[in-house]
């Protein structure tokens, strides 16, 4: 345990100067923030590496549990360190002129900046999110982040802008561009937009098409994302155009418990949440 206490002291000594260390000052706040973020990422990784082998060195269960506690503290401090610098960088990058960051010397910063900005804005400002994702795809078309933007992020952000006709047009384009494993998910997203537009027949066609695509793929591996797409598409087919199923919750917050059918004729917003 003395050794463990020494490691914990080392953690505190390491974390304080690393977290406080400022990157070399430059004339541009975005470049300063980017340099600081890179330093924080390197320091955070160094902290994790320094304590990653602690658990294996402990011989007793008490020692192992204490090692876990220290590592959790390390992981938390490292994450907080990076998050703080990432927030500063995101704000500086979002406010900057993105056209300035041309050339190989700024490629990493531009890719990260667009990715971080788009993810942060997807709920608060979906149009900004779409703008960032589209520029990322244009500038880095073969990157993994661009592939994820096409298959996952844009299908969320585009309808959220409220410009449904434009969203539908772009989603149909993306469906042609993504690999076969991502096509069923795009078809579900397209079907959702048709639902909002009130074209239930076309929506059914997309949902059924997604199911057909999954079936044509044959046996899927355990973590293939098409398995979840299959469930979502089938659920939509089962419910689309039909009366909402009864919701008869026994737990009601802020009022008297009611059945969903008791609220017929009024606007009802259902907020589903989960923890994992």
The closest of 31, 26, 24, 23 to 103, measured between CA atoms, is: 31
pLDDT at 160: 95
Q: Would residue 193 count as lying in a domain?
A: no
Q: Would residue 10 count as lying in a domain?
A: yes
Q: Would residue 34 count as lying in a domain?
A: yes
pLDDT at 181: 92
Given a cut of 60, whether residue 25 has pLDDT beyond it is no
List the domain range (segments joined by +) for residue 36. Answer: 1-96
Tens of pLDDT, residues 165-221: 999 999 999 999 999 999 999 999 999 999 999 999 999 999 999 999 999 988 888
Q: Provide, rounded to the nearest whole percent, the portion of the chain with pLDDT above 90.
A: 57
Taking residue 5's Cβ as centre, other Cβ atoms within 10 Å add up to: 11
Tens of pLDDT, residues 94-147: 999 999 998 999 999 999 999 999 999 999 999 999 999 999 999 999 999 999
Tens of pLDDT, residues 149-160: 999 999 999 999
**Tokens at residue 124, please?**
């608060």
- Binned at pLDDT 50, 70 and 90, residue 21 comes out as very low
Whole-prediction pTM value? 0.78
Q: Would residue 78 count as lying in a domain?
A: yes
Q: How far apart are CA 111 and CA 133, in angstroms?
A: 10
Given a cut of 60, whether residue 2 has pLDDT beyond it is no
Sign of the CA dihedral with 188 first, then 142, 121, and 82 last = positive
Long-range CB pairs of 115-122, under 8 A, 24+ apart, other chains included: 115/145, 116/86, 116/89, 116/90, 117/90, 117/93, 118/149, 118/153, 118/157, 119/153, 120/90, 121/94, 122/153, 122/156, 122/157, 122/160
Residues 6 or more apart whose CB falls under 8 angstroms from that of 76 comprise none
Q: Provide, rounded to the nearest whole percent, the portion of the chain with pLDDT above 70.
A: 88
Residues 6 or more apart whose CB falls under 8 angstroms from that of 103 comprise none
Q: Would residue 123 count as lying in a domain?
A: no
pLDDT at 104: 93
Q: Would residue 147 count as lying in a domain?
A: no
**In the block, residue with structure tokens 């927030």:** 87
Task: Kindly provide the residue ranges of all beta strands, DSSP E only, lying in the chain, ordered along the sequence.
Answer: none
Cα 49 to Cα 42, 46, 57, 267: the distances in Å are 10, 5, 14, 53
Polymer length in residues for the chain: 276
Given a cut of 80, whether residue 84 has pLDDT beyond it is yes
| Number of domains making up the chain | 1
pLDDT at 42: 92
Q: Would residue 73 count as lying in a domain?
A: yes
Q: How far apart are CA 191 and CA 241, in angstroms?
A: 13
Q: Higher confidence at residue 271 or residue 4?
A: 271
Residues 6 or more apart whose CB falls under 8 angstroms from that of 38 comprise 23
CB of 144 within 8 A of CB of 115? Answer: no
Q: Would residue 200 count as lying in a domain?
A: no
Rounded to the nearest angstrom, the gap between the alpha carbon of residue 140 and the centroid of all alpha carbons in its chain is 19
DSSP H or E run through 155: helix 154-160
């Amino acid at each position: 345990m003395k050794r463990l206490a020494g490691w914990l002291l080392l953690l505190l000594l390491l974390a304080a100067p690393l977290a406080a260390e400022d990157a070399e000052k430059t004339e541009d706040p975005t470049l300063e923030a980017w340099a600081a973020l890179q330093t924080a990422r390197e320091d955070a990784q160094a902290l994790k590496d320094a304590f990653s082998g602690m658990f294996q060195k402990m011989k007793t269960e008490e020692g192992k549990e204490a090692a876990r506690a220290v590592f959790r503290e390390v992981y938390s401090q490292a994450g907080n360190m990076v998050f703080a610098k990432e927030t500063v960088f995101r704000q500086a990058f979002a406010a900057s002129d993105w056209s300035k960051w041309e050339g190989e010397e700024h490629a990493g910063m531009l890719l990260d900046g667009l990715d971080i900005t788009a993810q942060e804005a997807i709920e608060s400002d979906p149009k900004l999110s779409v703008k960032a994702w589209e520029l990322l795809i244009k500038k880095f078309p073969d990157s993994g982040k661009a592939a994820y933007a096409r298959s996952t992020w844009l299908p969320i952000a585009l309808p959220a802008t409220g410009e449904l006709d434009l969203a539908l047009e772009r989603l149909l384009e993306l469906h042609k561009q993504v690999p076969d494993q991502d096509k069923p998910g795009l078809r579900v997203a397209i079907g959702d937009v048709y639902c909002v537009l009130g074209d239930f027949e076309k929506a059914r066609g997309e949902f059924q098409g997604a199911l057909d695509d999954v079936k044509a793929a044959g046996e899927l591996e355990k973590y293939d994302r098409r398995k979840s797409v299959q469930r979502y598409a089938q659920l939509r087919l089962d419910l689309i155009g039909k009366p909402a199923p009864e919701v008869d919750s026994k737990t009601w917050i802020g009022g008297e418990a009611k059945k969903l059918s008791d609220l017929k004729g009024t606007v009802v917003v259902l907020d589903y949440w989960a923890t994992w």
